[in-house]
């Protein structure tokens, strides 16, 4: 039976760091113009919490602000992120297309499960023509619980998937895999943390490693009758 790979987006497929600092600086400059901020841009704090749902992001970055200000900051931030994507300022991680080609050639289905907003994800998908390879891209906005494990479960149920792995750089991806009985593949990329990666079933430093990892895993587990 063909396998399925469920990828995280930010810090796994898309090099968010290339547009993150500019968009965040612009957002906090905007907040400063509203007299809602007077310190430096909390870039490092954002890097530390990459991968959490957006409400948690703005509760962390703006702990004493109202929900209205947090929402305005989030909307401004995403407008800037999307503008940077459309202007070609972002980039995929090395070998994304090669790995996607390999997976399609082997009959594997590719999905994306992200904590990002729908419009933001669509901008990446459209700019890099992901629809050539990706069956469907899912946003955490589609799940009321805002829990990535539930989002992955939604994908599994919608497509009747039995054999899959989750590929991502943060603990939310690893937990999403484990909670659904799937293999967790951690990516040692820009935003990853070693203590979180230690909980994955396998760790890669380059997406090309997926070809060997997936091939070996499929061969072993298919002999046993399942791949999880």
Task: Give the residues across from 137 on adjacent strands.
Answer: 112
Give per-residue pLDDT as tens, 193-210.
999 999 999 999 999 999
CA dihedral 190, 79, 54, 40 (to 10 degrees): 70
pLDDT of the residue at 94: 97
Collapsed DSSP state (helix, strand, coil) of residue 135:
strand
Note whether 55 and 155 are same-domain residues: no
Note whether 22 and 65 are same-domain residues: yes
CA gap 203, 198 in Å, rounded: 8
pLDDT of the residue at 221: 60
- Structural domain harbouring 162: 4-15+92-224
pTM of this structure: 0.89
Closest CA to 27 of 77, 68, 70: 77
Closest CA to 9 of 191, 222, 221: 191
CA dihedral 201, 207, 208, 210 (to 10 degrees): 30
CATH of residue 132's domain is 3.40.50.1000
In 3-state terms the chain splits into helix, strand, coil percentages (rounded to 5) of: 50, 15, 35
Note whether 135 and 188 are same-domain residues: yes
Q: Which of 62, 86, 110 lies at the terminal end of a domain, its last residue?
A: 86
Residue 15, sorted as left (phi over 0), alpha (psi -120 to 50) or beta, turns out to be: beta
Note whether 52 and 121 are same-domain residues: no
Between 218 and 154, the more confident residue is: 154
pLDDT of the residue at 47: 85
Q: Quote the number of domains for the chain.
A: 2
pLDDT of the residue at 1: 36
The rounded mean pLDDT for the chain is 92
DSSP designation for 131: G
Give per-residue pLDDT as tens, 73-92.
999 999 999 999 999 999 99
């Amino acid at each position: 039976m063909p396998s399925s790979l469920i990828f995280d987006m930010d810090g796994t497929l898309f090099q968010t760091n290339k547009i993150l600092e500019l968009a965040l600086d612009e957002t906090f400059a905007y907040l400063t113009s509203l007299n809602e901020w007077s310190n430096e841009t909390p870039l490092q704090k954002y890097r530390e919490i990459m991968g959490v749902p957006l409400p948690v992001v703005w509760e962390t970055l703006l702990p004493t602000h109202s929900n209205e200000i947090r929402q305005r900051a989030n909307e401004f931030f995403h407008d800037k992120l999307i503008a940077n994507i459309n202007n070609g300022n972002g980039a995929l991680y090395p070998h994304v297309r090669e790995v996607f080609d390999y997976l399609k050639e082997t009959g594997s289905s590719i999905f994306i499960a992200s904590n990002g907003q729908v419009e933001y994800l669509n901008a990446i998908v459209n700019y890099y023509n992901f629809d050539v390879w990706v069956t469907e891209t899912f946003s955490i906005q589609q799940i009321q619980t805002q829990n990535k494990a539930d989002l992955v479960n939604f994908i599994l149920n919608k497509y009747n998937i039995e054999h899959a792995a989750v590929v991502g750089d943060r603990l939310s991806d690893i937990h999403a895999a484990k909670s659904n009985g799937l293999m967790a593949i951690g990516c040692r990329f820009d935003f990853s943390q070693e203590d979180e990666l230690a909980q994955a079933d396998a760790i890669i430093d380059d997406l090309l490693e997926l070809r060997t990892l997936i091939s070996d895993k499929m061969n072993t587990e298919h002999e046993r009758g399942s791949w999880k």
